[in-house]
A = this chain, B = another copy of it.
Amino acid sequence: MESRNIRLAVIPGDGIGAEVVAEGLKVLEAVGTKIEPTHYDLGAARYHRTGETLPDAVLEELRGYDAILLGAVGDPSVPPGVLERDLLLRLRFAFDHYVNLRPVKLFPGVPSPLAGSSADDIDMIVVREGTEGLYAGTGGVMRRGTLHEIATQESLNTAHGVERVVRYAFEKARSRPRKKLTLVHKTNVLTYAGDLWQRTVDRVAGEYPEVATDYAHIDAASMFFVSQPERFDVVVTDNLFGDIITDLGAAIAGGIGLAASGNINPERTAPSMFEPVHGSAPDIAGQGKADPTATILSVAMLLDHLGLHTEAARVEQAVAADIVERRPGRGTHEIGDDITARVSG
């Protein structure tokens, strides 16, 4: 525990971002931490006003914080990819968030969308690589707009980048009761990258004899998420497959309103960043309808990362209790208030 105040940068972002982040901060305050939040105005509004996405000076300022809480990024008024790439992905890359940690857990009381599954069956954690793969942004276009156009995207994978996230995943697996790690990839088609991932898992596995390892192609894994979610304990996968499978994970675990995530820099050479898995949902923005639970669970992950384990557990327990007693039709504030009351009470 720190004696000085913990400095938190808050980026509400676009759409429902500001609404859900406000509830997250309310819970953070109620749980009694010495966390001092500073808001940053980044996202579509600033882009339209000034043309800026993430000025270099702001990036450097953010580097000085202990952690970042982010709402959501993306707006239909901005061309696809501009805010995602120049703001969200830039933060993940600049701060070396190579672990994108996404629990997939069906809370007791949440009706599973899967006919045959219960809370016992769906309890895994996806360790998504966060700084490489197809997210590198390399590629290009030639003869744009003509019959002869060609557009390419490149997936870049390095031994350095793969090994560090695989090690993290093995550590996670070792710490859990089932101690099982599944690599998800597409080694039969993406032979170069797949070979690097598979060899890395095989090699590191030697150091973790107590962890059982397994492999599933991304297509089969997507099927198993629906038909046999109990197959998975810890999943390690690349950036794009992780993106897909964690949204699918959110769907099987009761919806995107509950899915939390942490963009982690395990060496703490830069602040880690916590955000709900959901997007900015412009269609319901400003209406007080968004479920802030995913943000509140991300706040719990943030507390945990900062070493405030007791506080993290209290937030998680408050959410779990709130879910069991859910009244239908609550809005953003009411859910936030209900969870805040439990955290304080």
Contact of A160 among B81, B147, B160 (CB under 8 A): B147
A153 nearest in chain B by CB position: B155
Contacts of A222 in B (CB 8 A): 222, 244-245, 247-248, 251
Query: A200 to chain B: closest CB distance in Å?
Result: 9
**Residues B116 and A192 in contact, CB atoms below 8 Å apart:** no
Contacts of A224 in B (CB 8 A): 251
Query: A242 to chain B: closest CB distance in Å?
Result: 10
Does A5 make an interface contact (CB < 8 A)?
no
**Residues B145 and A156 in contact, CB atoms below 8 Å apart:** no
A114-140 Cβ-contact flags toward B at 8 Å (1 or 0):
111000000000000000001101011
**Residues B151 and A157 in contact, CB atoms below 8 Å apart:** yes
Bound-state CA distance A84–B190 (Å) is 11
Bound-state CA distance A227–B246 (Å) is 14
**Residues A192 and B223 in contact, CB atoms below 8 Å apart:** no
Bound-state CA distance A192–B144 (Å) is 10
Bound-state CA distance A104–B145 (Å) is 33
**Residues A81 and B188 in contact, CB atoms below 8 Å apart:** yes
Does A196 make an interface contact (CB < 8 A)?
yes
**Residues B227 and A135 in contact, CB atoms below 8 Å apart:** no
Contacts of A74 in B (CB 8 A): 188
Contacts of A150 in B (CB 8 A): 156-159
Does A240 make an interface contact (CB < 8 A)?
yes
**Residues A191 and B252 in contact, CB atoms below 8 Å apart:** no
**Residues B147 and A159 in contact, CB atoms below 8 Å apart:** yes
Q: Which of A222-259 contact B (CB under 8 A)?
A: 222-227, 240, 243-248, 250-252, 255-256
Does A324 make an interface contact (CB < 8 A)?
no
Residue from A115, A224, A255, A256 with most neighbouring chain B CB atoms (10 Å): A115
Query: A224 to chain B: closest CB distance in Å?
Result: 8
Contacts of A279 in B (CB 8 A): 220
Contacts of A250 in B (CB 8 A): 223
Contacts of A135 in B (CB 8 A): 189
Contacts of A158 in B (CB 8 A): 148-151
**Residues A80 and B194 in contact, CB atoms below 8 Å apart:** yes
**Residues A193 and B226 in contact, CB atoms below 8 Å apart:** no
Contact of A114 among B114, B187, B190, B193 (CB under 8 A): B114
Contacts of A143 in B (CB 8 A): 159
**Residues of chain A having any CB pair with chain B under 8 Å:** 74, 80-81, 84-85, 89, 111-116, 134-135, 137, 139-141, 143, 145-160, 186-196, 198-199, 218-220, 222-227, 240, 243-248, 250-252, 255-256, 279
